[in-house]
Structure 1
Amino acid sequence: MPTPKEELTVKRLENLIPALQGQRYEISDTHVKGMRVRVGDAAVESGDRRRKGKAAHISFVLLARFKLGASPTRRTLGTFPELSLTDARQKAVEWKALIRKGVDPADEIARVRRDEETARQNRRTLSEILDQYEREKLCNLRSGDATRRALDGKSGLLSTFLDREPSTITRAEIRAKVRSRAAESPISANRQLAYANAFFNWCLREEIVQENPARFIAKPSQEKSRDRYHSTDELREIWVATEKLGYPFGPWLRLVILLPMRRKELAAIPISEIELGDEDATESIWTLPAGRTKNASALKVPIPPLARSIILEAINDKGRPAKSPFVFSTTEKTPISGFAKAKRRLDSLIDRQRIESANEAAVDPVPMPHWTVHDLRTTFTTLACAKLNIDAGVADRILNHVASATTSKLTRTYNQFDLFERRREALYAWENFIRAEVIGPKSEKVVPIRQASA
Structure 2
Amino acid sequence: MGKAHKLTPLGVERQKVAGLYGDGAGLWLKVTPGGSKSWILRYTSVGRERWAGLGPYPDVSLADARDRAADYRKKVRSGIDPLDEKHQRDTLARAARAKAVTFDWCAAEYIKAHRAGWKNPKHVDQWTNTLATYASPTIGKLEVAKIDTGHIITVLTEDNLWTKKAETASRLRGRMENVLAWATTRKYRSGDNPAAWQGHLDNLLPHRSKMQKVKHHAALPWAEMGAFMVELRKQEGVGARALEFAILTAARSGEVRGMTWGEVDLKAGVWIVPGERMKAGREHRVPLPEHATKVLQSMRAETKPMPNAIVFPGVKSGKPLSDMTLTAVLKRMKRADLTAHGFRSSFRDWAAEATNYPRDMAEMALAHTVGDKVEAAYRRGDMFEKRRRMMIDWARYCDTIRKEGDVVQFRRKAPVRGMNSNKGLA
Report the TM-score range of the alignment, normalised by the length of the smaller protein. Answer: 0.5 to 0.7
1:270 is aligned with what amino acid?
T
CA gap 1:327/1:145 in 2 versus in 1, 3 angstroms: closer
Supply the distance in 1 between the matched residues of 2:171 and 2:417 (Cα, whole angstroms): 46
The aligned counterpart of 1:290 is 275
Query: What is the deviation of 1:267?
Result: 3.3
Aligned counterpart in structure 2 of residue 327 of structure 1, from 283, 308, 311: 311
Supply the distance in 2 between the matched residues of 1:232 and 1:385 (Cα, whole angstroms): 11
Alignment deviations for residues 262-302 of structure 1 (CA, whole Å, 9 cap, x no partner):
1232234222110112xxxxx51111123323443431111
The aligned counterpart of 1:237 is 227
The aligned counterpart of 2:350 is 383
CA gap 1:344/1:174 in 2 versus in 1, 3 angstroms: closer
Is residue 431 of structure 1 aligned with residue 390 of structure 2? no
Query: What is the deviation of 1:382?
Result: 0.6
Query: What is the deviation of 1:110?
Result: 2.8
Is residue 175 of structure 1 aligned with residue 153 of structure 2? yes
Is residue 159 of structure 1 aligned with residue 146 of structure 2? no
Supply the distance in 2 between the matched residues of 1:416 and 1:105 (Cα, whole angstroms): 86
Query: What is the deviation of 1:376?
Result: 1.3
Aligned counterpart in structure 2 of residue 148 of structure 1, from 128, 137, 145: 128
Say how many residue pairs are matched.
324
Query: What is the deviation of 1:426?
Result: 2.9
SS at match of 1:215: coil
Alpha carbons 2:245, 2:292 under 8 Å: kept: yes
Aligned counterpart in structure 2 of residue 445 of structure 1, from 375, 397, 409: 409
Aligned counterpart in structure 1 of residue 194 of structure 2, from 187, 209, 213: 213
CA gap 1:175/1:333 in 2 versus in 1, 3 angstroms: same
Query: What is the deviation of 1:128?
Result: 4.5
Is residue 99 of structure 1 aligned with residue 84 of structure 2? no
The aligned counterpart of 1:63 is none
SS at match of 1:287: strand
Supply the distance in 2 between the matched residues of 1:264 and 1:172 (Cα, whole angstroms): 33
CA gap 1:157/1:118 in 2 versus in 1, 3 angstroms: same
Gaps of 5+ in 2: 1-24, 26-43, 51-75, 419-426
Supply the distance in 1 between the matched residues of 2:380 and 2:85 (Cα, whole angstroms): 65
Alpha carbons 1:242, 1:250 under 8 Å: kept: yes
Aligned counterpart in structure 1 of residue 266 of structure 2, from 270, 276, 299: 276
The aligned counterpart of 2:341 is 374
Query: What is the deviation of 1:415?
Result: 6.1
**After the TM superposition, which residues 11-410 of structure 1 pair with which residues of structure 2 at under 5 Å, given as runs?**
99-101=46-48, 104=76, 109-121=81-93, 125=101, 126-138=103-115, 140=118, 141-151=121-131, 155-156=135-136, 159-160=139-140, 162-165=142-145, 169-179=147-157, 181-183=158-160, 187=164, 191-201=168-178, 204=181, 208=185, 212-216=193-197, 217=201, 218=205, 224=214, 228-277=218-267, 283-316=268-301, 320-323=302-305, 325-329=309-313, 331=315, 332-337=317-322, 338-347=325-334, 370-402=337-369, 405-406=371-372
The aligned counterpart of 2:55 is none
CA gap 1:105/1:378 in 2 versus in 1, 3 angstroms: farther
Gaps of 5+ in 1: 1-67, 69-96, 278-282, 348-367
2:143 is aligned with what amino acid?
D
TM-score, normalising length: structure 1: 0.58
Q: Which one has a bigger Cα radius of gyration?
A: 1
2:329 is aligned with what amino acid?
A
Query: What is the deviation of 1:342?
Result: 1.9
CA gap 1:450/1:314 in 2 versus in 1, 3 angstroms: farther
Alpha carbons 1:326, 1:334 under 8 Å: kept: yes
**After the TM superposition, which residues 409-424 of structure 1 pair with which residues of structure 2 at under 5 Å, given as runs?**
417-424=381-388
Q: Which has the higher contact order (CA 8 A, sep 6+)?
A: 2
2:128 is aligned with what amino acid?
R
Supply the distance in 2 between the matched residues of 1:160 and 1:424 (Cα, whole angstroms): 46
Supply the distance in 1 between the matched residues of 2:138 and 2:214 (Cα, whole angstroms): 26
Query: What is the deviation of 1:132?
Result: 2.5
1:329 is aligned with what amino acid?
P
Supply the distance in 1 between the matched residues of 2:250 and 2:417 (Cα, whole angstroms): 27
Query: What is the deviation of 1:443?
Result: 6.8
Supply the distance in 1 between the matched residues of 2:341 and 2:400 (Cα, whole angstroms): 23
Supply the distance in 1 between the matched residues of 2:388 and 2:78 (Cα, whole angstroms): 83
1:113 is aligned with what amino acid?
E
Query: What is the deviation of 1:451?
Result: 7.6
Supply the distance in 2 between the matched residues of 1:310 and 1:380 (Cα, whole angstroms): 19
